[in-house]
A and B are shown apart, each in its own frame.
Chain A
């Protein structure tokens, strides 16, 4: 089981990368989603262009651009920094699109009713629209999180020592048949890691459904 322990050495880094980028995305996507559903056409177009551009370029290009292309004075990204920022920005774009879809699917009458009740714009947004939108998008967010987990493997190409990097290192040291093991193990690990996310998301979803149906 040398192969498994070699791959597991990269597990903390994989989880750290995924959760850091996810946190950046969850928070950063809020203003962008507001921009995407803004009534000002310039704000809306600028947000749309940003989202489509970030999603239109493969992640590996963003990582190489940050790792090798950015130099401000003496500052350069280290591999982990470049990976977190790169994956974080990509998450912002994808999650903003998910949030926008959720906000749009809240019935218009809800906003109008809140307005009629004299709620302020902020209360309407955070107290009425967001909670309802979140219920709709929480499964999509969970799906995105498992996607992000898989995408974090791309960080191995800029020498971040996560699971795929460790698999590569082990395979290189073992030119025999054993060398195929880490790739199989790491594949299984990714699938195994996404199972609890799917499970928690389903539980959260059913609990919120119950809360609504009362």
Chain B
């Protein structure tokens, strides 16, 4: 009972932190998906320079820990006179992260479109543009949906790393409350539940979509 009453007291503050977390996740997904599509096209481009640049951006975005990219933007770049507010740095770093991960998923999706589809649209005399936007993309993106939903969940959880650069998101808010009254166990349990309440159903929906897609192929 005492836990519940304490949780009720913490909840309003935590909710404002959760709003910041959701905002950062939303922004990084909103910009990350289109950038990911551009990156996936760059990685498969014929031009060597374009391909190399695309690969470098993707491999750094996936290979380096999100925390390192966050620190690079927030603590590293100001040393060159490029300074961001902490929340901007968090959005930039996580956008890079989500673009890199989603580009791999989109590339796999686009490549999974059967060759015959390309040959058929070629035979029908469709332009390259129409072939890509009307034939390849609709089919490729469909099979990429579960993976992209997974990236969104990963990004939402990744916002907790913005704690490291003092963004007032859910984790930082929980830590601040905890350092006032030292009820760390209660506050971090509640913070964890806040994340779980969103991530768990989101995962179940993703699994549901995965199974549905598997049925149709």
Tell me whether A42 is interfacial, beta carbon within 8 Å: no
Closest to B186 in A: A69
Chain B residues contacting A68 (CB-CB under 8 Å) are 178, 184-185, 188
Most buried by B among A60, A153, A168: A60
A58 touching B158 by the CB < 8 A rule?
yes
B160 touching A60 by the CB < 8 A rule?
yes
Tell me whether A117 is interfacial, beta carbon within 8 Å: no
A187 touching B64 by the CB < 8 A rule?
yes
> Which of A55, A64, A71 is close to B199, meaning CB atoms less than 8 Å apart?
A55
Given contacts A164-B68, A167-B71, contact A179 B79 (CB under 8 A): yes
Size band of the interface chain B makes with A? 35 or more
Q: Name the interface residues of A179-209: CB closer than 8 Å to any CB of B.
A: 179-180, 183-184, 186-188, 190-191, 194
> Which of B68, B199, B200 is close to A183, meaning CB atoms less than 8 Å apart?
B68
Chain A residues contacting B157 (CB-CB under 8 Å) are 57-58
Tell me whether A84 is interfacial, beta carbon within 8 Å: no
Q: Tell me the interface secondary structure of chain A in the complex.
A: helix
> Which of A56, A150, A171 is close to B203, meaning CB atoms less than 8 Å apart?
A56
Closest to A64 in B: B188
Given contacts A69-B185, A191-B63, contact A57 B192 (CB under 8 A): yes
B124 to A: closest C-beta gap in Å: 38
> Which of B66, B69, B160 is close to A61, meaning CB atoms less than 8 Å apart?
B160
Tell me whether A175 is interfacial, beta carbon within 8 Å: yes
A117 to B120, CA, bound (A): 51
Chain A residues contacting B63 (CB-CB under 8 Å) are 150, 187, 190-191, 194
A141 to B: closest C-beta gap in Å: 18
A53 touching B196 by the CB < 8 A rule?
yes
A54 to B: closest C-beta gap in Å: 9
Tell me whether B164 is interfacial, beta carbon within 8 Å: yes
Give 22 CB contacts A-B under 8 Å: A53-B200, A57-B157, A57-B193, A58-B195, A61-B188, A64-B175, A65-B185, A69-B185, A154-B65, A154-B67, A156-B67, A157-B67, A168-B71, A171-B71, A179-B75, A179-B76, A184-B76, A187-B69, A190-B63, A190-B64, A190-B68, A191-B60
| Chain A residues close to B by CB (< 8 Å) | 52-53, 55-58, 60-62, 64-65, 68-71, 150-151, 153-154, 156-157, 164, 167-168, 171, 175-180, 183-184, 186-188, 190-191, 194
